[in-house]
Structure 1
Amino acid sequence: MVLLASWAPLGLKRLPMPMTLPIVCVALGAFLFGNNVFSGDPSPRTWDTMTERMTELVVIVSLMGAGLKLDRPLGWRRWGTTWRLLAIAMPLTIAATAWLGMVGLGFPLALALLFGASMAPTDPVLASDVQVGPPGKGDGDEVRFGLTSEAGLNDALAFPFVHLAILVAAGGLGGAAAIGEWFGIYVVWKLLAGLGMGLLVGRAMGFLIFSSRRGGLSRHGDGLVALAATLIAYAATEMAHGYGFLAVFVCALTMRARERHHEFHEELHHFSDQVERLLMLLLLVLFGGALARGLLDALTLQDALVCLAILLLVRPLAGMLAMAGSPHPPRERWLLAFLGIRGIGSMYYVAYGINHGSFGDSERLWAAVGFLVLASIVTHGLSSDALLRRLARRRAQADPAA
């Protein structure tokens, strides 16, 4: 896996056909487990707690990297694309996916809500190929910036709906008081706690790293600081009963804002990117092994068609509605809507919900999620690079000075 993480990205670029590292890793895992090179069943159905913890770790590492590489300062107008995707596209995707879960898959309300909340966020891990470059390289086009910032924030915003599904499964959402409690705790408090702890830890880490007197920790040039900041922000926020995903991303943005153009941000991002890539590849090999061991056995043809509709119709339509009236060209709006990659974050939410709620048999849920993630890895993996390159060429032709 270390060799793959180091060498494969360079080798894949030389292939005459489009190919991505996630596709290679899933295929490798399917081969190794399918041919009994590795024994056992790595299915998340069997290892639900381990699945939750491993996906949790790779997501928070990815969120730190996403926050560090955003060059654009936070602002209402500057982040207009992000707010549109979060406030309009995401709720629409949750609602439509939950509805299709009930009507198309036959899930009860609680399971359908969990399905909708899990499949709505753009994955910060697998979407790294369509995100902006390292710190100091610029935001590129609006598509890359929008997908990066959306992926950094939407994981935390999916959590209230995961908790809503858990409460519905427990039968605890039967009146206005229960709804008010859910809104007060799981929406207001946890989001505010995540935001506040992210700012607090980010400012503290920014002071330690970029202290003006002695140069701070940046003098040592050790990227391990990024992992330390990730774990401190996440753990402190979880202890405060807030959303740790939000805190990690806000912490990264706050650290970046302390000395926005400092070269040490590149080292921090580089280390986060290496850790994220290694963990991602390991999980994708195990995911491929789970596919080979029967993760999709419970999937029916109707289930597969519903999942494809979610991937190819629901998110694109919700994204286009969110971007209606924006100042960006139609092609950029369409790419922002289409490239909502689903992946490891979705697996985390399903594992979290099942481990903390009473949803009954989860075989079909895992089969649907596994198929949808696989379809996203293949569809977006094979098309995203060509689509973004074509967009860059059109932008260059339209504005030669750029």
Structure 2
Amino acid sequence: MTPPPYIFYLLGVGVLVLLAVWLPLALKRLPLSLPIVSVALGAAIFGFGWLDLRPDPLAYPVVAERLTELVLIIALMGAGLKLDRPVGWRRWEVPWRLLAVAMPLTIAAVACASHYGLGFPIAAALLLAAALAPTDPVLASDIQVGPPGSGHGDETRFALTSEAGLNDGLAFPFVHLAITFAAASAASAQPLDAAQLGRWLLVDVLWRISAGIGVGWLAGLGLGWLTFGSEARLSGTRDGLMVIGATFVAYALAEIAHGYGFLAVFVSALTLRHRERNHRYHAALHEMAEQVERLLMGVVLILFGGWLSLGPLSRLTWQEVIVAMSILLVIRPLAGWVSLLGAAPRVHERALISFLGIRGIGSFYYLAYAHNHGAFGADGRIWAVVGLVVLASILMHGITSTPLMRKMDRLLPDRRGV
């Protein structure tokens, strides 16, 4: 008698959990990463038809949005908690430069390449640019700073961690701008008028960013008091499960206030970390967030590998391949390098920060969100280009990041633990 499908799903979840725990240890000294193995595993599982499921994000757009949203907010909470360096204009000079210069340059360059090089409509080109502009807090975990209390981290690891924590929320206004362009084109085939641009600037940029930061700060203050200041302080339990509730509360409150929940989660984590900065309970919170993040990341990347087995990349044209590769090999490195001219990092650090702009699950979230809120007319092409960029980033950065970071540590030993 054949066991019911539930048993096989149970087996799959068990194997996934074991891999999420064991693989980081097994691959620690190898030029491989957990994301590479997860994608390959997904391609094998679905390619050989072991599961009766078609993991196509265009067929399940709501599931794609919610699943990627979940892993992102957990990753953002974990990233905020492990940053030992206090927030400041000078101390955070590098991430401010990456956000204020590198990300807008990347968006402009990708949008132009997509519109003029690939013939995408303005809305679709802007969506592709916004989705691929931010670095990913999930897939970049291997090149980020260590757990709380392990030191401020060298400039490269700190820059990549803080950039990934902030730019997911700050790319969102451009996703909303793409949705606004799509709606305007569908209604009148005319470009945006001054009123629509003004509303985007006031609501999607100023209000949503301010609300996300404000709600995150207030949520962090409340969570800090609940954790360390109240009579029944949560830090006395040493139970890291609290971090999941904190993540959901900060995110939900920001969304209720029509702010950017990604920003709120990261800011709340920074604010919570500021309260009793050296308390060991932060390590327990980060460890729980990291474990949940690894598990959810494995699920998403296995599904991504399954989607790749359906052959979406086979329909790409050579022009789309060139644009996709230029995003990783030309646009991001150049934008990152320009943004860091005159900054403190040395040449080796500047080069690494510019090169290691990993693209990943955040890009999938923005695509799913946009396609659930607008019509762009090039859905399959956009997903295919993003899929190629993410796959290439997983392979290229996954193989090179470990040896490159080791080499940097040898070249600049005095910058570790700055």
Task: Report whether the alignment pairs 1:164 with 2:181.
Answer: no
Query: Which amino acid in the other structure matches residue 207 of structure 2?
Result: W
| Pair 1:285 & 2:291 matched | no
Q: Distance in 2 between matches of 1:352 and 1:399?
A: 40
1:344 equivalent in structure 2 = 361
CA contact (8 A) 1:60 1:248 kept: yes
For these two proteins, the number of residue pairs brought into alignment is: 398
AA paired with 2:219? V
Alignment-derived partner of residue 31 in structure 1: 44
The equivalences for 1:34-45 within 5 A come to 34-45=47-58
Residue of structure 1 equivalent to 2:8: none
- 1:42, 1:289 within 8 Å by CA — same for their partners in 2? yes
* Equivalent residue, structure 2, for 1:73: 86
Displacement, 1:395?
1.3
1:199 equivalent in structure 2: 217
Deviates more, 1:57-66 or 1:99-108: 99-108
Offset, 1:401: 12
Q: Deviations over 1:207-244 (max 9, x none)?
A: 00001645x10001111111100000000110110000
Residue 179 of structure 1: which of 186, 197, 204 is its match? 197
How far 1:321 sits from its partner (Å)? 0.3
Q: What is aligned with 1:5? A: 20
CA distance in 2, matches of 1:196, 1:41: 41
Give yes or no for contact 1:197–1:236 (8 Å, CA) kept in 2. Answer: yes
**RMSD, aligned CA:** 1.5
Where do residues 324-363 of structure 1 align in structure 2 (5 Å cutoff)? 324-363=341-380
Per the normalisation by structure 2, the TM-score is: 0.93
Mapped to 1, the partners of 2:111 and 2:206 lie a distance apart of 23
Partner of 2:10: none
Matched, 1:150 2:163: yes
CA distance in 1, matches of 2:370, 2:86: 34
Tell me, what secondary structure is at the counterpart of 2:141? helix
Structure 2 residue corresponding to 1:119, chosen from 125, 128, 132: 132
Is 1:105 aligned with 2:118? yes
Specify which of 57, 63, 71 is matched with residue 76 of structure 2.
63
Using the alignment, how far apart are the partners of 2:287 and 2:215 within structure 1?
24
Deviations along 1:355-377, one digit per CA (max 9) or x if unpaired, are 10111241111110100000000
**Cα distance in structure 2, aligned partners of 1:13 and 1:256:** 28
Q: Which is worse superposed, 328-337 or 110-119? A: 328-337
Task: Report the Cα offset of residue 95 of structure 1.
Answer: 0.5
Partner of 2:227: 209
Between stretches 79-88 and 360-369, larger displacement belongs to: 360-369
Q: Distance in 2 between matches of 1:341 and 1:401?
A: 23
Partner of residue 373 from structure 1, selected from 384, 390, 398: 390
Q: Secondary structure at the match of 2:391?
A: helix
The alpha-carbon distance between structure 1 residues 400 and 183, as it changes in their structure 2 partners (threshold 3 A), is: closer
In structure 1, C-alpha distance between the alignment counterparts of 2:27 and 2:199, rounded to whole Å:
51
Q: Is the 8 A contact 1:202 1:250 kept in 2?
A: yes
Give 3-state SS (helix, strand or coil) of 1:171's partner.
Answer: helix
Gaps of 5+ in 2: 1-15, 186-190
The 3-state SS of whatever aligns with 2:84 is coil
Q: 1:359, 1:80 → 2: CA distance?
A: 37
